[in-house]
Structure 1
Amino acid sequence: MQDTLTTEKRTVADTKATTMKAAVITAPKKIEVQEVAMPKPGKGQVRLRLEGCGLCASNIPVWEGREWFTYPMPAGNPGHEGWGVVDAVGEGVSNIQIGERVAALSYNSYAEYDIADADKIVKLPESLAGKPFPGEPLGCAMNIFKRSIISEGQTVAILGVGFLGALLVQLAKNAGASVIAVSQREFSLEVARECGADEVIKMDDHYKIIEKVKELTNGKFCERVIECTGKEWPLNLAGELTAERGRLIIAGFHQDGMRQVNVQLWNWRGLDVINAHERDPQEYIKGIKVAVKAVEQGIITPDKLYTHTFTLDNIAQAFENLTNRPDGFVKALITY
């Protein structure tokens, strides 16, 4: 029996496999690698043989457990930073070929294979062959930068230098801005320096930080402040560091309940407050496409930020590192 459905165009790669390995979070802080059925692409979909998937901080509540989650999670969930090679195409897909290397918006990518809609695929050029490309967070950084409207001569403060914050330091410097990086870990401050930050400040004392930024900016504070932590205290600190008529960009993922913020200050200074997360998948795709060009041109250099690599078999350790962030940790990848 042939592995192709037609003689004109292959729709399934030459593989006899019907099952795959996938990580399943069975309960809070418990994960198993299980043998599950290999997914099949439906109409307008493609299947990816994944090369890897990044770990996102938004996975931490799922890993730790919250009352609104139901376990076990679907196989491969919540992996959403996958890239790999198209392995099969569904009915009606004509613009994507088997064997093409792509980044995808898909949601079960802690597995050897995943399914994505054909319009949520970004083809990767030959210049990026062999390089990891977790498209979703790279696209997210580009979209946040776009909405920040950063230009030459501005002073930009970036609060929280993990993977996202480090990319934004690179982007702001490339735009000609002066960058002040504020972060908790000494290692993250070193990363900020390597990415081009002009000044680094340890995120430890609220009022000392305000006074230091005031001093560095001759009392004017920063035209742009990007909060990347997802925490309440740094969000309020971000407001204090934003200049009158400045732009406060909320890039952190605030996922654990309400926040109390100093709206009086925001109102008095006339701040533009931008929630820079996108929910339209096509906006993410636009960002990923821009990220491909930015990596090709050296505007961003994410490779040095991929500090830890794990296999599917030791994904539990990857989640522990994601949660505890040992010294030297910026971004972890699961590779297959």
Structure 2
Amino acid sequence: MHAWLCTNPTGVENLQWQELPTPQPAKGEVLVRIHAASLNFPDLLIVQNKYQMKPDLPFVPGSEYAGVVEAVGEGVTHLQVGQRVAALNGTGGFGTHTTVAAKLCMPLPDAFSYEDAAAFIMTYATSHHALIDRGALQAGETVLVLGAAGGVGTAAIQIAKAQGAKVIAAASSDDKCALCKEIGADETINYQTQDLREALKALTNGKGPDVVYDPVGGDYTEAAFRSIAWRGRYLVIGFAAGPIPALPLNLPLLKGASIVGVFWGAFSQKEPAANAAMLQELATWYAEGKIKPVMDGTMPMRDLHKAYERMGQRAVRGKLVLVNA
């Protein structure tokens, strides 16, 4: 097998494409031949030693991938050799093969392409858990999605619309706003050229959004929270902008609003039955055409450095997927 190996997590430039022994699955594991793997923001952080999960060195990055089971370990009965699966394991995806716990694999129906499957679990599970479980989003409510043209942002737009909500998508360019409109956003805000608070006031008749979905953090957090509706829910997804914002605690008091943390990875481990039910609902929505990953494009697995460069420039719209020939 071949894989991108991280021996020193000081940046993308230290990743090397190497030939490695093909592993054999241990008890409870399967060996997956990888067809496609998506690039997520944590995949950038983890090779810079900035992510909360710090794997032992050396490791192969790539948190999310899809492929075919080539071997099964002892005790695995629900998956078979030749079965198509997707998995989110945190590491291992940027290569030709990997082993993964069978319980982390999502069986794929034939209609689910490898590219879509590789771009599915992290963004859609995060957004579903955020909006519906943690945010208790109801039909008819208004959602503000920050960073709306990215992977989790585009997933959040589709899930909110499937739930019957009104979506205001905020992004950093007119081109990105146009993409958000194409996938269902009702209104858009270009927060590079528009004042976020004034635009929200105009679009909600002064009420503000009921739910704010924020994977960005940084400078827009306080402005968005100051605009939130009474009894609003502010969903803390991540900090793609870099700085972790600090909110004055008088704001949730005055707004009667909640700051809600969203950590889907911990949810999937602590509440596996609820997580499995959620993934099944998402797979059903995919089959019904309600949701579909927005693709920035595909690149050969060997072009990982170029893919990281594109993500680092914040040029990715939706998900960028690496494929093995």
TM-score by length of 2: 0.87
Question: Which residue pairs with 2:82 in the alignment?
Answer: 99
Aligned to 1:5: none
Structure 2 gap ranges (5+)? none
Question: Quick one: which amino acid aligns to residue 28 of structure 1?
Answer: G
Shift of 1:323: 0.7
Residue of structure 1 aligned with 2:257, choices 254, 258, 271:
271
Match of 1:164 in 2: 152
Tell whether the 8 Å contact from 2:169 to 2:189 is kept in structure 1 after alignment.
yes
Q: Is 1:306 the counterpart of 2:303 in the alignment?
A: no
Query: C-alpha separation between the residues in 1 aligned to 2:110 and 2:51?
Result: 45
Residue in 2 aligned with 1:59? Answer: 43
SS of the equivalent of 2:94 reads coil
Which residue number in structure 2 is paired with residue 174 of structure 1?
Answer: 162
Name 1:221's counterpart in structure 2: 208
User: How many Å apart are 1:51 and its aligned residue?
Assistant: 1.0
Q: 2:322 aligns with which of 316, 329, 334?
A: 334
Structure 2: distance between partners of 1:171 and 1:67: 26
SS at match of 2:229: strand
Q: Does the CA contact (< 8 Å) of 1:25 and 1:72 recur in 2?
A: no
Residue aligned with 1:317, SS? helix
Aligned 8 A contact 2:130 2:262 in 1: yes
**Matched letter for residue 239 of structure 1:** F
**Does residue 136 of structure 2 align to residue 149 of structure 1?**
yes
Q: Distance in 1 between matches of 2:219 and 2:54?
A: 30
1:181/1:192 contact within 8 Å kept:
yes
Q: Which among 24, 37, 42 is matched to residue 40 of structure 1?
A: 24
Match of 1:239 among 214, 225, 232: 225
Q: Helix, strand or coil for the counterpart of 1:37? A: coil
The within-5 A match list for 1:15-30 is: 20-26=1-7, 27-30=10-13
Q: How far, CA to CA, are the matches of 1:201 and 1:228 in structure 2?
A: 16
- Secondary structure (helix, strand or coil) at the match of 2:231 reads strand
Compared with structure 1, are the counterparts of its residues 166 and 47 closer, same or farther at alpha carbon in structure 2 (3 Å cutoff)?
same
Residues 171-228 of structure 1 deviation map (CA, whole Å, 9 limit, x = unaligned): 212222221111112222111111111111111368x221221122121111111112
SS class of match (1:244)? coil
Say what the alpha-carbon RMSD is for the aligned residues. Answer: 2.5
Identity %: 26
Q: Counterpart of 1:126 in 2: which secondary structure?
A: coil
Q: How many residues align?
A: 311
The residue type equivalent to 1:220 in the other structure is K
Residue pair 1:309, 1:332 contacting (<8 A) in 2 also: yes
Q: What SS does structure 2 have at the residue aligned with 1:267?
A: helix
Secondary structure of 1:201 counterpart:
strand
State how far apart, in whole Å, the 2-side matches of 1:116 and 1:313 are: 22
- SS of the counterpart of 2:283? helix
Which one of the candidate residues 89, 111, 122 is aligned to 1:127?
111
State the SS of the aligned residue for 1:43. coil
Q: Distance in 2 between matches of 1:214 and 1:22?
A: 50
Instruction: State the TM-score, normalizing by the size of structure 1.
Output: 0.84
> Which is further off, 236-245 or 273-282?
273-282
Cα distance in 2 for partners of 1:117, 1:236 equals: 40
Q: CA deviation at 1:285?
A: 4.6
Q: Distance in 1 between matches of 2:93 and 2:51?
A: 24
CA distance in 2, matches of 1:290, 1:325: 30
The amino acid of 1:112's aligned partner reads T
The unaligned stretches of length 5 or more in structure 1 are 1-19
Matches of 1:53 and 1:288, distance apart in 2: 18
**1:136 and 1:322 mapped to 2: Cα distance?**
16
Q: Indicate if the aligned counterparts of 2:126 and 2:263 stay in contact, CA closer than 8 A.
A: yes
Q: Please report how far the alpha carbon of residue 112 of structure 1 lies from its aligned counterpart in structure 2 after TM superposition.
A: 0.8
What letter corresponds to residue 153 of structure 2 in structure 1? G
Alpha-carbon separation, structure 2, partners of 1:69 and 1:169? 28
Over 6 Å off, 4+ runs: 67-72
Which letter maps to 1:288? L
Match of 1:196 in 2: 184
Matched residue, 1:319: 308
